[in-house]
Amino acid sequence: MFNKRTKIKDLLAQEPTGQEVIVMGWVRTFRNNQFVALNDGSTNTNLQVVLTLGAFDEATLKRITTSAALKVTGTVIPSQGKGQKLELKADTLDILGDSDAEAYPLQPKKHSLEFLREIAHLRFRTNTFGSVFRIRHSLAFAIHKFFNDRGFLYLHTPIITASDAEGAGEMFRVTTLPFDGTPRNEDGSINFKDDFFGRATNLTVSGQLEGELGATAFGDIYTFGPTFRAENSNTTRHLAEFWMIEPEMAFYDLEDNMNLAEAFIKYIIGYVMEKNREDVEFLAARLAEEEKSLPADKRSEIGLIEKLEFVLNNNFERITYTEAIDILLQSPAYKKKKFQYEVKWGVDMQSEHERYLVEKHFKKPVIVTNYPAAIKSFYMRLNDDGKTVAAMDILAPGIGEIVGGSQREERLDVLTARMQQLGVPADELWWYLDTRRFGTVPHAGFGLGFERMVQFVTGMGNIRDVIAFPRTPKSAEF
């Protein structure tokens, strides 16, 4: 068998007892025709491979270049240098793949994140992105473990849908109709009769509505899959394709929903802090170094690790939307006209408002509840005041909103009235309304943008740096 290898992360955790091992990886550096820094992606820490002078021919040594792939068989010995307790004394060395050192874009030096976005197919090979994507993996695994351990059913909701769950209208259309000569109705609208599905369809913006169908049969379900928004927004916070976690729970009210969401966030952060400590520490040091070049007022008040531990060790503050607006109106930032966007009851709070509440006022994560009905979706439960809905947003330091959710409107008459008021076609959502006709129950759910959570845990400032192949306006490479 070819792949009888030991991963470098596992090897570095062992004691050097003269054991014989096989390692495979890519060359990071090669110096003095003797010392190879080898990395296989399992850790940021390189394994030092020592070549005995004169033991390997000149032609082989010339092929040991940056990013060349090697298979090394050797003996594990105590390290003579500082930094790690062991190294590998090479007995045999095979070059599995050559690399043209002069053409290879990732030289052994510091590269900007902007440059690395231009070569996203290679940026995984850097320490920064190695740490980011190992953490992303652990977060994804922790999400499934959290829900599985609590008896939730993982439901795969459709990527191609005929509904707009958010009512935003910013959707990617799915069609097999020709671009030229698209069939039209007499009124000029597109005739979808001959389209693949026989009707207008789009890439999903949310699996929530279908998730509710599952919750009203299984009790507790969650979805975890890609979602799409055709929002022409070129910012550090938006993607056209991103991943969402959306649990839906029958027999839950708003408070149950908040309790689950808070426990969920703490669990997955705690999992990464336990399993990926080395990666978190590397990114924390990187962030601290990066912030030295920023003006004092732009720097984070606490480091990445302290921020994550603060979330783990503190109960989230819970306030109503009305209380949040009052705090903003009384804030020095508002009185000194430092907010770019308007503050008054009825407006949708912007990121600057959310971050003020979290970072300046409470200095901890905040759950804001009971938003004005006019700025929220049709499916959110109308409160007794007739003006607000049982919605909740969780706001996190450094990023603003990270979770959005609500108790769902289970009363058929109220739900249909809200749909009519907001222009949501009830005839197209007949299947959704059936859940209110046949055994309706109080239920709730929330959505967590996965990339926002990865950003929060890694400290990365741009959302394009926490997804492997970002899809943004005018950008769909790879």
Domain match, 130 and 103 both: no
The whole-angstrom separation of Cα 44 and Cα 39 is 7
Burial of residue 402, with CB atoms counted within 10 A of its CB: 0-12 exposed, 13-18 middle, 19 or more buried? buried
80 and 143, same domain (yes or no): no
432 domain residue, yes or no: yes
Residue 226 lies in a domain: no
Nearest 10 degrees: CA dihedral of 322, 328, 331, 332? -160
Cβ neighbors of 404 (< 8 A, separation 6 or more) are: 391, 392, 393, 394, 446, 447
Give yes or no: residues 37 and 137 share one domain.
no
> What tens digit of pLDDT does each residue of 354-385 get?
999 998 999 889 999 999 999 999 999 999 99
**Segment 39-64, tens digit of pLDDT:** 999 999 999 999 999 999 999 999 99
**Whether 57 and 103 share a structural domain:** yes
Residue 1 has pLDDT above 80, yes or no: no
Does 103 reside within a domain? yes
Q: Are residues 138 and 43 part of one domain?
A: no
Most confidently predicted of 166-180, 244-258, 299-313: 244-258
Q: CB neighbours of 409 closer than 8 A, spacing ≥ 6?
A: 378, 379, 380, 381, 382, 415, 418
pLDDT at 397: 84
Mean pLDDT of 436-450: 97
- In the chain, the amino acid numbered 127 is N
Q: Crossing angle for the helix pair 450-458 and 277-291, nearest 10 degrees? A: 70
CA dihedral of 47, 48, 51, 56, whole degrees rounded to 10 = 50
User: Does 275 reside within a domain?
Assistant: yes
Claim to verify: residue 21 and residue 137 sit in the same structural domain: no
DSSP for 90-151, please give it.
Answer: EEEEEEEE---TTT-S--SS---HHHHHHTTTTGGGSHHHHHHHHHHHHHHHHHHHHHHHTT
Res 302: pLDDT: 83
Q: Which band of pLDDT confidence, cut at 50, 70 and 90, is reported for residue 316?
A: very high
pLDDT band at 259 (very low <50, low <70, confident <90, very high): very high
How far apart, in Å, are the Cα atoms of 215 and each of 218, 254, 448? 5, 16, 17
Residues facing 247 on adjacent strands: 222
Residue 131 included in any domain: yes
Beta bridge partners of 36: 30, 49
pLDDT 10s digits, 136-179: 999 999 999 999 999 999 999 999 998 766 655 689 999 999 98
Token code pair at residue 128: 């920064």
Under the banding of pLDDT at 50, 70 and 90, the label for residue 15 is very high
96 in the same domain as 34: yes
Task: Name the residue type at position 476.
Answer: A
- CA-nearest of 310, 221, 300 to 270 is 310
Identify whether 161 is part of a domain. no
Which of 49, 75, 107 corresponds to the end of one domain? 107
Q: Can you give the pLDDT at residue 16? A: 93
Instruction: Report whether 27 contacts 65 (CB < 8 A).
Output: yes
Task: Supply the pTM of this predicted model.
Answer: 0.94
Question: Which CATH number covers residue 311?
Answer: 3.30.930.10
Query: What is the predicted pLDDT for the residue at 166?
Result: 61
Last residue of a domain, one of 107, 139, 165: 107
In a domain, 271, yes or no: yes
Mean pLDDT estimate for the chain: 93
What's the total number of domains in the chain? 2
Domain boundary among 47, 81, 107: 107
Q: How many angstroms separate the Cα of 393 from the Cα of each of 147, 255, 289, 374, 404?
A: 20, 12, 32, 16, 4
Does one domain contain both 313 and 287? yes
Q: Left if phi > 0, otherwise alpha if psi is -120 to 50, otherwise beta: which for 18?
A: left
My answer on whether 397 and 315 are in the same domain is yes
Helix axes 127-149, 277-291, angle to 10 degrees: 130
Look up the domain containing 78 and give its range.
8-107
Domain CATH for 15: 2.40.50.140
The owner of tokens 């959005």 is: 404
Is 146 found in the same domain as 12? no
| pLDDT given for residue 330 in this prediction | 96
- In this prediction, residue 165 carries a pLDDT of 63
In the prediction, which pLDDT does 167 show? Answer: 57
What whole-number distance in Å separates Cα of residue 312 and Cα of residue 135? 17
Helices (DSSP H) in 150-276: which residue ranges? Answer: 208-218, 254-275
**Is 246 contained in some domain?**
no
Gyration radius (Cα) of the chain, Å: 27
Are residue 438 and residue 353 in the same domain, yes or no? yes
Residue percentage of the chain with pLDDT more than 90: 78
454 and 330 assigned to the same domain: yes
